[in-house]
Amino acid sequence: MRSFLTGDDKSPRRVVQRQRHRPETWWAFSLPLLLFLLIPLLALIGYSSPEQLVENLALPEVRQAIMLSLRTSTLATLASVLLGTPMAYLLARREFPGRLLLDNLIDLPIVLPPAVAGLSLLLVFGRRGLVGVWLDSFGLRVTFTETAVVIAQTFIAVSLFIRAASIGFAGVEPELEDAAAIDGASHWQTFSRITVPLARRAVLTGIALAWARALGEFGATIIFAGNYPGRTQTMPLAIYLGFELNLDVAVTLSVILVLLSFIVLLVVKGFFGIGDQEE
């Protein structure tokens, strides 16, 4: 993950120019991986005919799952940006005791099995959980609700945003921020007019990664939010359960999920990324 994020400061073209000798060797050795990644996805897309895909798209449970997934993953991304930006900036700019520990903590949700995340959330926000007990006294319940889905997705996705944004913030020269401050800009103005625009590529990459990860979240969601069509049954849950009963529907949802994720990542990296080469 990290090498992918830090590696995008070199355009593919420049890499090719530097490696004048035998690019075809590298292609040959990359081919097994390319096939390994590509063939399963093509098999998935080729499984059902386009007519069948469209037909399945009209099913109410499929549409419910798609709409719920789009809604919750967007909210989770929003929450990740709001909650994650200060942390990303802190990690990019400040040296403080325990910085390494904090940095490591931020990486945990990326490497933890999502089921562990789901269980932890249940122990905090569940009816008998640390926070849940208190919420329950106000008659509020989080488990089995759409809110729980958003919480689970945010927990898993926010790290990806922080990682990417932090690298972007670190790449902005502190002198530029200082200059803006000398010219009378407030902290907020400096951050929003200088730092974020200069780091926009990394920030956008972070947003795209967080969104795609939230869209694909399964393990934490099914444990913490449960599975109820229209309320907590997101696309990955519908795919998993559909696999038992209706493979066709599961494949349709999978194809949509793959295409959506691919297009979003492509748009963000291609469209926003290549336009920024001069940085």
Partner 1 sequence: MFKSWIEKQKTLTFAVLALLLLVASCTQNGGTAPTAPEQSPVEERTTLTVYAAASLTDAFGKLAETYKVNNSNVDVVFSFAGSNQLAAQINQGAPVDVFASANLSQMENVVAEGRIDADAPRVFVTNRLVLAYPEANPAGITTLADLALPGTLIVLAAEEVPVGRYSLEFLDKATADPTFGSSFKEDVLANVVSYEENVRAVLNKVSLGEADAGIVYLSDLVGVEGVSYLEIPDSLNSVAEYPIAALNDSKNAEAAAAFINLVIGAEGQAILGEYGFGPAPAP
- One of 110, 196, 241, 264 touching partner 1 (CB under 8 A): 241
Question: Which residue lies nearer to partner 1 by CB, 133 or 267?
Answer: 133
| Shortest distance in whole angstroms from residue 51 CB to partner 1 | 25
| Shortest distance in whole angstroms from residue 267 CB to partner 1 | 30
| Residue tagged 């005791």 (tokens) | 97
The helix or strand, by DSSP H or E, that contains position 148, with its residue range, turns out to be helix 146-170
Question: Which residue lies nearer to partner 1 by CB, 47 or 144?
Answer: 144
185 binds partner 1 (CB under 8 A): no
| Residue type for position 16 | V
Segment near partner 1 (CB under 8 A), from 52-60, 155-163, 226-234, 259-267?
Answer: 226-234
| Shortest distance in whole angstroms from residue 233 CB to partner 1 | 8
Question: Which residue lies nearer to partner 1 by CB, 80 or 153?
Answer: 153
Q: Do 148 and 120 contact (CB within 8 A), yes or no?
A: no
244 binds partner 1 (CB under 8 A): yes
- One of 84, 109, 114, 126 touching partner 1 (CB under 8 A): 126
Segment near partner 1 (CB under 8 A), from 50-58, 202-210, 241-249, 254-262?
Answer: 241-249
- One of 232, 234, 252, 254 touching partner 1 (CB under 8 A): 232
* Alpha-carbon distances, residue 96 vs 84, 85, 100 (angstroms): 18, 18, 9
CA-based nearest residue to 109, from 161, 57, 60, 69: 161
33 binds partner 1 (CB under 8 A): no
- One of 147, 171, 240, 265 touching partner 1 (CB under 8 A): 240
Give the angle 157-266-240 at the CA atoms, nearest 5°.
Answer: 50
CB contact burial 164-174 (16+ within 10 A = b; e otherwise): bbbbbbeebee
| Shortest distance in whole angstroms from residue 256 CB to partner 1 | 20
Q: What is the DSSP letter of 110?
A: H
Q: Do 60 and 198 contact (CB within 8 A), yes or no?
A: no
Q: Do 163 and 1 contact (CB within 8 A), yes or no?
A: yes
6 binds partner 1 (CB under 8 A): no
128 binds partner 1 (CB under 8 A): yes
Integer Cα distance of 99 and 203 in angstroms: 21
Those residues with Cβ within 8 angstroms of residue 26's Cβ, 6 or more apart along the chain or in another chain? 19
Interface contacts to partner 1, rule CB under 8 A: 3, 122, 126-128, 143-144, 222-223, 225-229, 232, 240-242, 244-245
